Amino acid sequence: MSVRKEMLETMCLVANGLHTGETTRINHEQCPSGWDSKRRFYVTRKPDVLLGYCHNCQNSVTKYVGPKDRYRHDARYTTVQKDPEFQVLHAVSFNDDSNIPVEAHTWRVNNELTRAMCVNNRIQFSSEHFGIVTPVYNMEHRIGYQVRPLVQLGPKYITMLENDKLMGGFRIQSGKHSQQLPVVITEDYISAVHVHEAGYLAHCNYGVQTKPRMLYAMVNYFGTVRPYIVWLDNDSDHVRDKAKEIADVLRMFGATVHVELTAEDPKYVPTEIASIVGSYL
Ligand SMILES: [Zn+2]
């Protein structure tokens, strides 16, 4: 892919969080037809693609942004629910030994989670789905939950949301953190929990998709003084590309960003989080 096309594609990401049919516009940096300060690069969100067009140089680009990561939404469950309380699933606490099967405890131990970490971070067990229940946040607000079935038959995750708000966030406590504490952006909730345990601010991206609207809200909330570290599960070139894409968008919003490309998900290396994050500070 040419550098110019790649740059146009990255610019299109500014519209990724928009609703279908909406258009936004930005300056075409390094526009071949001359300096653009009138935001002449238009991007329109279509169902699965972003269409970019520069009214200065007349270059156009199409960027596919349809679902392709591992978080498949189950149409039966990704519906509007006004009250997404866990009781709907009869989810039980990890402290309730008589109702937690050995498979769930095995999952907990494999993920290096203590009972207290599960209780404090709203990680529960659902007998209805025979799976692990974790919350979904929009910044600090809980907007639903995900179930990870312990027996793999259907989708890896079943997602139930209160509404169509974007997924992304964690248990954010304003005013409790120093200005310099970094924010680590993770792909999954368990990794966010481990980052939090290690003493850093965690933002769960719920998958590898770039969500500029959510990323903008995050930078707006945490500010641009502290550094941001994008740390996804680097098990493929695709994921590494997505990490760089998220970093590009964060930089567009004025953030200082580092991308961890070598290590696995934080949840696989909980004892190394401090040294890995520390190496960027
Ligand atoms: Zn142009």
- Domain-wise residue ranges, the chain: 3-64, 86-161, 168-278
d(C-alpha 253, C-alpha 246), whole Å:
11
Decide yes or no: CATH 3.40.1360.10 for domain 168-278: yes
Centre of ligand 1 to C-alpha 64, Å, is 20
Centre of ligand 1 to C-alpha 43, Å, is 12
| Torsions phi, psi for 227 (to 5 deg) | -80, 155
Residue 230 contacts residue 185 (beta carbons within 8 Å): yes
pLDDT digits (tens, 9 = 90+) for 122-168: 999 988 888 999 999 999 888 888 888 888 666 677 788 776 678 89
**Rounded (5°) CA angle 274-280-281:** 85
- In which band, very low, low, confident or very high, does the pLDDT at 86 lie, cut at 50, 70 and 90? very low
Residue 139 contacts residue 172 (beta carbons within 8 Å): yes
Centre of ligand 1 to C-alpha 41, Å, is 6
SS3 5: helix
pLDDT digits (tens, 9 = 90+) for 34-72: 999 999 999 988 877 788 899 899 888 888 776 544 444
Centre of ligand 1 to C-alpha 54, Å, is 5
What is this structure's pTM? 0.71
d(C-alpha 161, C-alpha 206), whole Å:
13
Centre of ligand 1 to C-alpha 32, Å, is 6
Centre of ligand 1 to C-alpha 214, Å, is 27
- Does pLDDT of 249 surpass 80? yes
80-89, 117-126, 268-277, range with the lowest pLDDT: 80-89
pLDDT digits (tens, 9 = 90+) for 53-62: 998 998 888 8
Centre of ligand 1 to C-alpha 56, Å, is 5
- Does pLDDT of 260 surpass 80? yes
